[in-house]
Amino acid sequence: MADWMVQPVVQYGFLGFSAVLIGIIVWLINQLLKLLGQTNQIIAANTDAICDLTAMTSDLLKLTRSLHDKIISRPCIARGESGVCRPDTGKVRS
């Protein structure tokens, strides 16, 4: 039974099969490295977009605070005799 393992045809068959498997592994590793490169590019682009959004949000927050301060500093034109202004409707409470 051990004689068929030492036959050159069987040995060459194992050699060819192992060469094919090594080729497949090398191809898969190559594909994985390409995919990792593309993933790194996507991560870099997303990081730049997040930085831009952070800067824009910071600018909008400053603008909103400035607008809030300007609105608060102006007098309410809807005050009546009681002196109470309803900012939600602009009508004077009685």
| Cα 38 from chain centroid (whole Å) | 14
- On whether the pTM is more than 0.75, the answer is no
Partner residues linked to 85 by β-bridges: 92
Residue 4: strand, helix, or coil: helix
| Residue 78 contacts residue 90 (beta carbons within 8 Å) | yes
| DSSP letter, residue 91 | P
Residue spans of the domains in the chain: they are 15-71
Instruction: Please list the alpha-helical segments (H only) found in 1-94.
Output: 8-73
| Per-residue pLDDT tens digits for 51-91 | 999 999 999 999 999 999 888 888 777 666 666 665 555 45
User: How far is Cα 59 from Cα 52, in angstroms, rounded to an integer?
Assistant: 11
